[in-house]
Structure 1
Amino acid sequence: MTREEMLARLIAQARTEGGELITLRAVVEEASELGASRALDRLGLGDPSAQDDIDELRELLSAWRDAKASAWKAAVEWLVRGVLALLLVGIAVRLGVGDMLS
């Protein structure tokens, strides 16, 4: 029996019995399951290999974040090194190190 058939039978049962709490809960549960299944199918995540695809995407996203953080860290380190090198050159020029070497 498919979910659609189960939901149709529960709705029919609720109509005939006057909608007892247990029947209404079963209707809500089946409708929720059916809606979730349809939503996953529309997103392309309804097949059995979807979990593997999601896991792979999470790993890829994690690797991208790590690479981005590493690239920013390296860029800042090189920028600081460049500023410090320019500062040392400026100090050397100010002290006249070029004249001392000549």
Structure 2
Amino acid sequence: MSAPDRLAEQMPAARGLFHARGEAEVPGDITMTTDELEDMLDRAARRGAKAALAELGLHDAQAATDINDMRSLIAAWREARSTAWQTVVRLGTTALFAMIATAVWLHLKGQILK
């Protein structure tokens, strides 16, 4: 499948606008080679990616450091959340065992005093 056909498949509005050289031309059509089309799409994708990074504030030399800091922050949050749940479970388990031990002690104390 040629690049113009792939483009037309992905973007139905572009169907018929691009065709390979050597095909019949219709007035108003844009004629370009597959390489030219791929280069144009590559440049557009790069511009779009740069614009998206700039909008997020990740367009400068500090972007890699910022992303690493964000990953570290997320990892720390996950660790803190995990530790908090472990603490809650341990507290609940300890309280349950304490209640069972108290009930057994009260039961045995009642039998000893009789």
Place the TM-score, normalised by the shorter chain, in its bin. Answer: 0.7 to 0.9
Paired AA for residue 21 in structure 1: T
Secondary structure of 2:51's counterpart equals: helix
Secondary structure of 1:89's counterpart equals: helix
Question: Identity over the aligned pairs, expressed in percent?
Answer: 28
1:51 corresponds, among 37, 58, 64, to 64
**Shift of residue 94, structure 1, vs aligned partner:** 1.6
Q: Which has the higher contact order (CA 8 A, sep 6+)?
A: 1
| Change over 3 Å in CA distance of 1:55–1:98 after alignment to 2 | farther
Q: Which runs of 5+ in 1 are unaligned?
A: 1-14
Q: Which runs of 5+ in 2 are unaligned?
A: 1-27
TM-score (norm: length of structure 1): 0.75
Query: CA-to-partner distance for each residue in 1:39-84, whole Å, 9 max, x for gaps?
Result: 1111111111011001011011101111110111011111101110
TM-score (norm: length of structure 2): 0.68
Secondary structure of 1:96's counterpart equals: helix
Runs of 4 or more, structure 1, over 6 Å off, are: none
Query: CA-to-partner distance for each residue in 1:12-44, whole Å, 9 max, x for gaps?
Result: xxx9x8211111110000000001101111111
Give the aligned partner of residue 88 of structure 1. Answer: 101
Residue-pair matches, total: 85
C-alpha root-mean-square deviation of aligned residues, in Å?
2.1
- CA distance, structure 1, for counterparts of residue 33 and residue 47 of structure 2: 21
